[in-house]
Structures are given as C-alpha cells and as structure tokens.
Structure 1
Amino acid sequence: MNNHDSKSAMTEPTSDDDVLPVGVNSLSDYAPNKLYLLLTSSLPVDITTSSGVVLPSDSSNNNNNNELASQKRSSKRRSFIRYFIPINRTRSSSIPVDPTKSDGFGSPYYQQPRGSIQSTDSCDMRFLIIRHGERVDRYFGANWYMTAFDQNEQYRPYHRNFPSSLPVRTNRYFWAVDTPLTSTGLQAAEQLGRLFQSRFFHPTYAYSSPAMRCVLTTIQILKGLGLENKIPIRIEPGLLELGAARFGMNVFFQPTDWHKYGINVDLSYQPILTHIPPYEREDGYYLRSKHVIREIEKRHNELSPSLQNMLIIAHATSPETLTWDLIGKQPNVGDLYRLSLNIAYLQTVLTERQQDSKFWSVKPIGWS
C-alpha cells in the first residue's frame, strides 16, 4: 500500500520470531459467541466519533455444539502456548508461499480458479464473490496489536509475515476489530489478480466491504490485474459480515481516508446501506445481504446493457449469503457458521445472469 503520509512510514521487521498459526477452526470470520475474547467486553477507547487521522448471535445447529466447544477450547490452548513458548523450527508460512499449497491443517488456505473464466454470449452480468486474504489476527492471535506497536504507538513488525507498514490510526485498539492482511495475504491476493488476467477475466467494477482486510485484498487483486489506477473501489458497508458493526462504523476507514493514502476509491459512490445493526441475527444478515446484492444488480441494470463483471470482495459467509436468493436457495440460517468454515482465504464463487431469462446460476470454474 502506497502511503503518502510521512508518519505512516514504518520500520522494517527486526526479528523473525516464529509464531504458530491459529487453528483451522479460526479460519472463519464469523464465529457465534466467539468473536474473540475482546468482543465480550468494551474497547478501552471511545469510538463513537472519529477525528484527526482515524483512517478510518447465534450459535450453529445444536448437533454441532459439542464439536464447536471442543474447537474453541483447543484454539485457546494453542493461543496460550503460542504466546509463552518460543517455537524454534522452520515454517514455510513465514516466507512468501505458493497459495496452491496446503495450509498444514489438511485444507488449502488459498484456492485458485483454473481454466478460462470467460463468459458466454448469453450472459449479461457476473458477480465474482471472493473472500479476503489471510488475516493478521488469525495468524498471530487476537492481541497481535499489543506487541506490534511500541510504547510510542509506532508500528514495529517483529515477524516477516507482518505487513511491512500500516497506515496511521489515532488509537491502536482500532486494529483489534479491523485487522489488516499478512504479508502472505497481500502477495497471494496480487497473485490471484494476475491469475484472473491470464484467465481472461476483466472486471468492470469492484465492490468491497469496508473492513480493512477486504479493501486491501481488493487493492492487491486490482494491482495483479494491472487495473488499480483504472477501476475505483466502491466501498459498500452493506457487505460487512455478521457482528462486524458491534462497535460502530467509525472503527473502519472511510473512503476519504483511503483516498488520502493514494488509494483509488470511488468518492462519488452512494452506499446502498450506511448503517449496519450492531447486533444482528443470522436471518437478518441473510436478508441484508439479499438486499445489497439485488440493489447492485438493479443499479447496473440501469447503467449499461453490455456485459458487466463485478468483483465483490467480502467475508467467509459472503459466498453463501450473497448468492442464496440469486440462485433460488433457502437460507442456511442454523448452519451458517459451519458453512463458513469451508470457505478458504481468497476462495471465489462465480455467478452469472442469463441475458434473456435473467436467471442466475453458479458457474463452476474449477480449482487448482
């Protein structure tokens, strides 16, 4: 990310202490009753207003409760061990990795399309819905920001999988609920963009959740496509995942804040939703997602009769909640958490609308 503020220049990592990644049960963004220990208490800072340079539920099915509880306890044990016992071994995750490889837990962190994803002549609109890249807090733990900033609030990345720099925020506690991407996540997102280019996918618009991990993923994908200066990012609050607005919307960077850092965002874009309920149930989240995706469709119906390809960068639950109404499914309200666990970083779902019938379908594009 190109920061144009001298204060945003950060030091390079001074050490490379090995850190175990969080377990596979934490790969999902949304986790009922488990949005970190932090989310069970108030943030130690007033976030009802922003000033200066603030750049800016429910559990799953009862049948899964015992399994989820076991996973939560296991994750806590791993977190405790990670913070207090140094790990002296070589890890491939601490250097740029091949996103096609396994994450070490038996499932791929990154999945990539293979073969051409060109549209057919009968298609007039496509949504390419993508989960963001690897999160810093999922790799280093929920309290990563407590050790990555010194007493003077200067960012000190101590591991090579930290991003080399971060934009300035008025308070580091904002990072607790709005995490960036790891270095690996940034590189993999750019690589995905290059792959799209080689598979002849050329987006005409790009939408992103306001969460930093999603905006950074969008930036990197467009960079890989060579379109970062041609396609402005439309930041849509309605794409936020369930529970993300618990502490209000001011914890997230605003479009004008991204613009100050030289990011190509669409400042003229009028969001579909500006207020996201701080407390929301799964059924409400499904309906919100339906409203957002249908409104995007409606707005583009009025823009151009020609084929429109939309990148939509959001969260682990988004491939489910943004497509169910399009393809005529029923919401999996009670099973949303389990479904989200199966969505890898950068996993992509392609939906196409037939020009004549206006019916939507999911197009299989294959995975490598």
Structure 2
Amino acid sequence: MCECQHSVCACGCAGADEDVSAGVGENWFEQVFGDGKSPPQSHLRSYLPSRLPNRRETALYMLDPPITRNGQQKALMLGNQLSRSVTNIDACYSSPAARCVLTAASVLQGMNRTNIPLRLETYLFEPMIYNKPYQEFITLSPFMSPHTWARAGYNMDRTYQRLDDFLAPQETETDYRDRSQYFLETIEQEYDRRVGARGYSRPSTVLIVGHAATPLIFSNIASRQQLDPVAFGQQCAHIPFLHTMVLERNAATHKWKAR
C-alpha cells in the first residue's frame, strides 16, 4: 500500500442541529448589544469567548456570530482526540466566519499546535445560497480581518493571500462545489511543490475548519461523485457541531479517499 502523501482534516464548526451549548442562540445579539448602540466591550459576558475581538460595527456580529466558551471547550477536546492520530500539522485554513476562527484556534490548542497560524480563506465559507443576508454584502465584508483577530491575541498568518475576497451572491450548491474543488487543488499544488523541493515525501497534514457543508463537500470531491443539490442541502441540515472527517491522498495515484 502506497504511503499517504497528504492528509486533510476537514471540520464543520456549525450545523442546523448544532449543540445549543456551543451556539450562542438566536437572541444573543439583543441580549449583548441591545439596539446595536452598545460599546464593543459589551461582549464581555461569561458565556462568550473572553478574547472575542472588539469590532467597531457591532451590528456585523448579527451576521457573524461567535461560539460560546462551552463550544470552545468542545473544540479543544476534539483537538486532544485528533492529536492521538495526527502527529503533525503543516497548516490550518479556516473560513473567515468568527465561529470558525474560534473553533480552529481551540482545535489547535487541543492539539498543542498553537504555533500554527490560522489562514483565513473566503473560499471556505458556506454556500451563499444558504445565506440570503450575506448576498447584500458585495463591497463590504461582514468578517473580521486577520489583523483584527491578531490584536485580540490569535495567531494569524497575515501574509497569506486568499484565493478571492468575493463570492458570487447568487451562488448555487454546484458553484460551491466548484470553488471548494479549486481550493483543494491549490492545496495539492502547494504541497506537491514542497515535496519536489525537498526531494522526499514526508506526509503533509492540513487542518481545514469550515461549516456544516465543509466535510460533506470535500467527501463528495474525494469520492468523485456527482453532487445532488437537494440531498446535499438536506444532509447539511443535520450535520452536528464539530463533525470531522479525514481525507488521505495516495502518493502514487494522487487519489483521495475519506477515512
């Protein structure tokens, strides 16, 4: 059996059936910021992450909510579990959504890999068809920048160049699959170049933290199945918090398989 050349751990940080102890709930913004005129420091609540960045436009938190401290603890426990089977992490890519960034940071902490900086990648955001409010944000991003996260004490790769800052407002599930496949291909190309430059094939492992759709779409790509948009949407609605899968690429055939 040929040695695995690359591994990808794909983690979904939120789903429709997300554990209520991890999600902040529908009315959390009103409870914390009221009418939106409360100061940014109003997020300092016992059930919210203590290092949640202050953002000038607090109303954007309505579109970009965090997870709870309990959710952070569960992500840390997942990291502990992953550390038993994943011996090294070469990079960590995260959706720019706050709940994903917080999840990724906690998973890395649980793996004892806080030295790995987070790379925020817009292409890892969930399908736009599931986010009608986001379709209005064509010129203004509702997400915080790596610099904003870094000021709050998070280890961010501020030199990473995202594939694109723009997502098509009317994007379909098929469009989402296309951009996800493009992202995975860039991962392959980057680490293939590293293997060639080193002259040997030490396996690489990449951690990807996204949304409910993330592990499903990468599994679909790895298996080379045709995407059924209706079935895909139904499956996304039942993905639990921290659902995780591992993809391994065969060093000889370059084919992926889910594990």
Q: TM-score range by the shorter chain?
A: 0.7 to 0.9
Give the counterpart of 1:225 among 99, 111, 123.
111
Q: Distance in 1 between matches of 2:235 and 2:75?
A: 22
Q: Does 1:347 align with 2:238?
A: no
Give the counterpart of 1:145 among 8, 19, 29.
29
Give RMSD over aligned pairs.
Answer: 2.3
Residues 313, 200 of structure 1: CA spacing in aligned structure 2 closer, same or farther, 3 A cutoff? closer
Give the counterpart of 1:214 among 90, 100, 104.
100
Query: Matched residue of 2:253: which SS?
Result: coil
Residues 139, 219 of structure 1: CA spacing in aligned structure 2 closer, same or farther, 3 A cutoff? closer
**In the alignment, is the contact (CA less than 8 A) between 1:189 and 1:346 conserved in 2?**
yes
Paired residues for 1:13-162 under 5 Å: 122-132=3-13, 139-149=23-33, 152-153=38-39, 154-155=41-42, 160-162=46-48
Q: Report the structure, 1 or 2, having the larger strand content.
A: 2
Q: Distance in 2 between matches of 1:156 and 1:261?
A: 13
The TM-score with structure 2 as length reference comes to 0.85
Matched residue count? 242
Query: Matched residue of 1:272: which SS?
Result: coil
What is residue 220 of structure 2 aligned with on the other side?
324
Q: Does 1:242 align with 2:127?
A: yes
Structure 1 residue 140: Cα displacement: 4.7
**In the alignment, is the contact (CA less than 8 A) between 1:204 and 1:310 conserved in 2?**
yes
For residues 159-203 of structure 1, the C-alpha deviation after alignment (integer angstroms, 9 at most, x for no partner) is x54334532111221011101011211110111111222334422
What is residue 188 of structure 2 aligned with on the other side?
297
What is residue 167 of structure 1 aligned with on the other side?
53
For residues 52-103 of structure 1, the C-alpha deviation after alignment (integer angstroms, 9 at most, x for no partner) is xxxxxxxxxxxxxxxxxxxxxxxxxxxxxxxxxxxxxxxxxxxxxxxxxxxx
Structure 1 residue 156: Cα displacement: 5.5
Aligned residue type for 1:127: V
What is residue 206 of structure 2 aligned with on the other side?
310
**In the alignment, is the contact (CA less than 8 A) between 2:76 and 2:107 conserved in 1?**
yes
Higher Cα radius of gyration: 1
Residues 138, 232 of structure 1: CA spacing in aligned structure 2 closer, same or farther, 3 A cutoff? closer
Structure 1 residue 317: Cα displacement: 0.7
Query: Matched residue of 1:210: which SS?
Result: coil
Q: Distance in 2 between matches of 1:200 and 1:217?
A: 18
Residues 147, 137 of structure 1: CA spacing in aligned structure 2 closer, same or farther, 3 A cutoff? farther
For residues 325-361 of structure 1, the C-alpha deviation after alignment (integer angstroms, 9 at most, x for no partner) is 2221111212222111232111111110111111111
Query: Matched residue of 1:163: which SS?
Result: coil
**In the alignment, is the contact (CA less than 8 A) between 2:10 and 2:209 conserved in 1?**
yes
Residues 136, 267 of structure 1: CA spacing in aligned structure 2 closer, same or farther, 3 A cutoff? farther
Identity of aligned residues (%): 28
Structure 1 residue 157: Cα displacement: 5.9
**In the alignment, is the contact (CA less than 8 A) between 1:208 and 1:214 conserved in 2?**
yes
Q: Distance in 1 between matches of 2:215 and 2:85?
A: 21
Q: Report the structure, 1 or 2, having the larger helix content.
A: 2
Name structure 2 gaps, 5 residues minimum: 196-200
Q: Distance in 2 between matches of 1:261 and 1:251?
A: 18
Structure 1 residue 322: Cα displacement: 2.4
Q: Distance in 1 between matches of 2:58 and 2:244?
A: 31
Q: Distance in 2 between matches of 1:157 and 1:236?
A: 27
Structure 1 residue 255: Cα displacement: 1.3
Structure 1 residue 241: Cα displacement: 0.5
Structure 1 residue 136: Cα displacement: 7.9
Name structure 1 gaps, 5 residues minimum: 1-119, 364-368
What is residue 203 of structure 1 aligned with on the other side?
89
Structure 1 residue 130: Cα displacement: 0.3
